[in-house]
Amino acid sequence: MPPKPRPLHLTSDHVARIPVIEDPGPPNYAFVRLATDADYDAEVERWISTAPGGDFWIFAYGSLIWNPATDTDAEKIAVARGWHRSFCLFDQRYRGNPKQPGLMLCLDRGGTCRGVAYRIPAARLRENLHKLIRREMSMVPSAFPARWIKVMTETGPLTTLAFIIDRRDQRYIGGLSLAERADQLAQAHGWKGSMAEYVLSTVTRLEELGIHDRNLWQIQRLVAERIEHHWPR
């Protein structure tokens, strides 16, 4: 049994203070275009053609843990070595806007990440992968393309599909301190909600699973403090 979740500093009351805005529309990034059905078809076929034999697993480390895009029929706590979760993807549409951009979670190289491996039902594989790609890839080229990585579970190793930041992409934001990330996360909001809501949902679900991410724990505290400053009751 996972340990009892600890009380968070960041709460739904903090999230309720932050406005939600209308969709500002697709951002205009250089050398980037909106994904098409043909792009989605090609990417799904790439995943399937490069998949290892046996079951099809994906590695969830952020929003896929608390808001999955696909049907799953098995899950395992998994550890990805050589990678860590990081708020490093610049966002000015979904949970950010041009004046208060957000930072979405991606896997970045270095360290260790504990997350969840989910198995996609074989009978509905393509159907579910098309749901997944439309959730994760709105633009081409993707700033966080999917690739196969090894993870370790209590029953042994798995090869899983994971979304990993491309450090060469213009939307990659690296080198920020936790305080600097919290400064941005506390104010960012878009048409899908706020980054504070994203942080709260992620940390809450990780705690329920018995996964303690030290950096996220510090960030949720810092975000709560900054919201109290920017949007006092």
- Which residue numbers are catalytic? 136
- Which residues lie across from 117 on neighbouring strands? 59, 76
25 token code pair: 């529309």
> Burial, 33: exposed, middle or buried (Cβ in 10 Å; 0-12, 13-18, 19+)?
exposed
First to last CA, the chain: 38
C-alpha–C-alpha distance, residues 97 and 178, integer Å: 21
Which residue(s) pair with 75 in the sheet?
Answer: 118
- Rounded Cα distance between 54 and 50, Å, is 12
Displacement of CA 162 from its chain's centroid (Å):
10
Number of H helices, E strands in the chain: 7, 9
